[in-house]
Amino acid sequence: MPKILSNRSLKTFNTFGIDVKAKSFISITNEDDLKLVLSKNTSLPLFVLSGGSNMLLTKDVEALVIHMNIKGVTSEIKNDNEVWVTAKAGENWHDFVQLCIKNNWGGLENLSLIPGCVGSAPIQNIGAYGVELKDCFVSCKAIDKKTLKTISFDLESSQFGYRDSIFKNDAKDQYIITEVTFRLTTKNHQLKTSYGAIENQLTSKNIKSPSIEDISNAVIAIRKSKLPDPNKIGNSGSFFKNPIIEKSLYENLLKEFPEIPHYPISDTIVKVPAGWLIDKGGFKGFSMGNAAVHDKQALVLINKTGNASGIEILELAKFIQAAIQKKYSIYLEMEVNIF
Ligand code: EPU
């Protein structure tokens, strides 16, 4: 069994770069070790960590931190246009997407450059540029922390929604995802290019019949232009979810803010971009101590100096929440998990 470390700094294990300590820490590279650790640990609460890309750590973690570092990718051809690809939880998400593109497996290209690892991707049903993880999802395997049994979750039982799944609700904290299987195409790729920024990017490069690699490159370019690189400036991507509001509230807001963007969800509710609300609230580039709102995308909070505490980031987030509530009567739910 790998060594358990005490009082290990988690600074390099969370993309915000917050310097808190784990009481105990173990890096897991196979499922047998994971089960062994789970069966032996009786005293400490468990804290599962993979890419650390969707969390804000506000205090030392008084737990056994299990760093999921199980690697491996396998594939199975299903028919002349379909391959099922299984990636272990500790695979870096972007590297996995690039591997798919290299093999000409289509479906995940719009999800290029999303930070984090494969194992945490289903938890919030990662999504970007018109594609969500659930669109290619077949199933995932997860170990029940108490019984140590391996359970398989399919598309239906995963209960995916916008940045949501059973793993954030009924199954919260019960399972550790060990691998995810995707259904990808090998020939007739269903390209999603309708997102305006992708179209513009392809046009600017004069690409008329894009490959999955062209789409991936376009997404990489767009993300690089708007989103800070967590290796340089600590951040967790979108800090808030895009709020879903009553159409009546939206219509009221339209009177005062005629240019407010919106995406209809049903006859009675619409989604509005939190980035727009925060930006037009005057917060783009706004800073409080070591924490700030990114100056190119107001939905992203950053560890501006590299020395921010989790509390500082959280205080900025709460300040913004209150200001947005006051200005638009909209509650901004945090997308990032706070610990
Ligand atoms: N906008 C502004 N100012 C800003 C940011 C956005 O006015 O500072 C406006 C844009 O002009 C646009 C609208 O808000 O009209 C939406 O902006 P954008 O297309 O950049 O997308 P988003 O809603 O801000 C969402 C996801 C991102 C994902 C992009 C692209 C959420 C919470 N965020 O952002 O996901 O990359 O769409 O699909 O749904 C993430 O989850 O970490 C993430 C980055």
Instruction: Give residue 284 CA to ligand 1 midpoint distance, Å.
Output: 13
- pLDDT of 1 reads 78
| Residue to probe by mutation, ligand 1, list 276, 280, 333, 336, most atoms within 8 Å of CB | 276
Q: In the chain, count H helices and then E strands.
A: 8, 20
- From the candidates 53, 120, 163, 216, give the one annotated as an active-site residue: 163
Non-local CB neighbours of 24 within 8 Å, separated by 6+ positions: 4, 5, 6, 44, 63, 64, 65
Structure tokens that stand for 145 in this block: 């922390």
37 φ, ψ (degrees, to nearest 5): -60, -45
Which residue is closest in CA terms to ligand 1's atom 14? 276
Tell how far the Cα of 79 is from the centroid of ligand 1, in angstroms.
36
Low-confidence ranges of the chain (pLDDT < 70): none
pLDDT of residue 124: 94
Going by alpha carbons, the residue nearest to atom 3 of ligand 1 is 276
Residue 229's pLDDT is 95
The pLDDT, as a whole number, for residue 112 is: 98
Q: How many residues does the chain have?
A: 339
Residue among 193, 299, 333, 335 whose CB has most ligand 1 atoms within 8 A, to mutate:
299
Is residue 31 annotated as a catalytic residue, yes or no?
Answer: no
Q: What is residue 91's predicted lDDT score, i.e. its pLDDT?
A: 98
Question: Alpha-carbon distance 294 to 279, whole Å?
Answer: 10
| Measured CA distances, 9 to 13, 23, 58, 59, 73 (Å) | 8, 9, 13, 11, 29
Distance from the CA of 276 to the center of ligand 1, in angstroms?
A: 8
* Pocket around ligand 1 at a 6 A CB cut-off: 128-129, 227, 237-238, 241-242, 261, 273, 275-276, 279, 284, 297-299, 335
Q: Among this protein's residues, is 238 annotated catalytic? A: yes
Q: What is the pLDDT of residue 118?
A: 98
Q: Which of 16, 165, 238, 242 to mutate to test the pocket of ligand 1 (most atoms within 8 A of CB)?
A: 238
